[in-house]
Structure 1
């Protein structure tokens, strides 16, 4: 349909890629049609007529709900138009973000950690996974071992953690929570289906710990450093468009180092805590 990328990943799951490619979204935001006789749309993506038409056309049964992983515009832009078109509710975690968010978005029904969405042949468990965003939910199809991860996990790229809504300590805790679940495969908010979920999660945790060490090693006990300086050192070849994001990512690590007692803030900069 007019170049819209649609693919059946497994029985009961169809991925439709939104037409919003960018350095931040990769090929585009993944929307998922989940279920058979009754279906839910996870993250409708952008408000694009062809994309929304493709979601409706892909559903093998009646679409009964829209599920939102988090209220960033690339995930929620088409939610209200689709809900009005199909006369169905939007479900999301009831927390308003303070930073980057879709200011026009509002859910009809709250979803909390542990809530279950019953689609007859598919049951999805809502898992609150703050970190990338404070309102973030993943959806776990336990019988299939499949996690719809939103932006808690992305394929082949690092998830951005942007304060104030992004929280590195919360993100690490969310990853540990996911590691304790019997997840076999991950359907991320951006990119390909990830087959080795335990390996993917272990790699992300190891990478975050390594980056945390690098940020700490970039600090000194005598002169404050700012996130932008550290980011340029750690990401010397980064696309200039992404440098502000890299600095914010470093700041998220610095905030966590303060929480761990390994750093402190001095004026507008950050210093290593003397041991």
Structure 2
């Protein structure tokens, strides 16, 4: 159940708070997770909304020791500062590269690296670098439960928008495939409910992206040479036209991937198959 302001127990080690920021891109709101009961880790503190910050501090009950962020988009990290100031918690995360749409206040005490492991007496949390949605995105694997905190790498009920240049479709698909090497049992997304069959979810996402990429390439071949506005109508003819402005961003990320692979090219603002 997703209810704003109320901590919801998901497992022996995990509670969830939902920020009051529902919307087209955030679903019911951003999920903030509290890991552990004695040395509490706050994962994705969310937007700097006073009521949400108060809910985090109340749920933490004076035991918050660490704050970790999957990435620094404005719906995921800005509450870090108020929570850190109130608790003295250590802040862990990664700074962005090549993306303007970020929480510019973010200043971690510890900068993440792939497979960095955060241990407490209650749990082990492993950081997995998963660029694609944005360059500084990390998922976190709770080893004791096989629960993957996926941020915006995997979303419940929708696909992630990949926005160049910070977003990279080639890196995104590679990072999805990399996750299949880890012993995942379930996925705790940044928005929405738990996803139980993690392998099927990830394999389905990879297949969906590759199918869409094939449609981009076939669209280029059919139109011969075209701009993004013309191509999006062909490639996303199964999507509500009201969503085409967002779809066009992910389509451009597909085109950049195809360009790197020498399967597509551009002439000024026009694209064509090679």
TM-score, scaled relative to structure 1: 0.93
- Residue number in structure 2 paired with 1:78: 79
- Residue number in structure 1 paired with 2:149: 148
Q: Structure 1 residue 3: deviation in Å?
A: 4.7
Q: Deviations over 1:32-65 (max 9, x none)?
A: 0011211110111111121112122223771111
Question: How far apart, in 1, do the equivalents of 2:8 and 2:95 lie?
Answer: 31
- Residue number in structure 2 paired with 1:131: 132
Q: Structure 1 residue 213: deviation in Å?
A: 0.6
The farther-off stretch of 51-60 and 111-120 is 51-60
Q: Deviations over 1:151-176 (max 9, x none)?
A: 11000100111101100010111011
Asked if structure 1 preserves the Cα contact closer than 8 Å seen for 2:72 and 2:95, the reply is: no
Q: Structure 1 residue 225: deviation in Å?
A: 1.7
- Does residue 198 in structure 1 map to residue 199 in structure 2? yes
- Residue number in structure 2 paired with 1:258: 259
Q: Deviations over 1:1-27 (max 9, x none)?
A: x95243111111011111111111111
Aligned pairs for 1:1-275 within 5 A: 3-59=4-60, 62-220=63-221, 223-236=224-237, 237-238=239-240, 240=242, 242-273=243-274
Q: Structure 1 residue 142: deviation in Å?
A: 1.6
Question: How far apart, in 1, do the equivalents of 2:6 and 2:260 lie?
Answer: 43
Q: Deviations over 1:133-159 (max 9, x none)?
A: 100011101221110011110001001
- How many residue pairs get aligned? The number is 271
Q: Deviations over 1:107-158 (max 9, x none)?
A: 2221111111112111100111001010001110122111001111000100
Asked if structure 2 preserves the Cα contact closer than 8 Å seen for 1:71 and 1:97, the reply is: no
Change (3 A) 1:8 1:198: same
Question: How far apart, in 1, do the equivalents of 2:54 and 2:97 lie?
Answer: 29
RMSD of equivalent CA atoms: 1.8
3-state SS of paired residue (1:27): coil
3-state SS of paired residue (1:102): coil
Asked if structure 2 preserves the Cα contact closer than 8 Å seen for 1:37 and 1:61, the reply is: no
Question: How far apart, in 2, do the equivalents of 1:104 and 1:245 lie?
Answer: 26
Q: Structure 1 residue 224: deviation in Å?
A: 2.3
Question: How far apart, in 2, do the equivalents of 1:162 and 1:48 lie?
Answer: 26
Q: Structure 1 residue 221: deviation in Å?
A: 7.7
3-state SS of paired residue (2:75): helix
Consecutive unaligned residues of structure 2, counting only runs of 5 or more, are none
TM-score, scaled relative to structure 2: 0.93
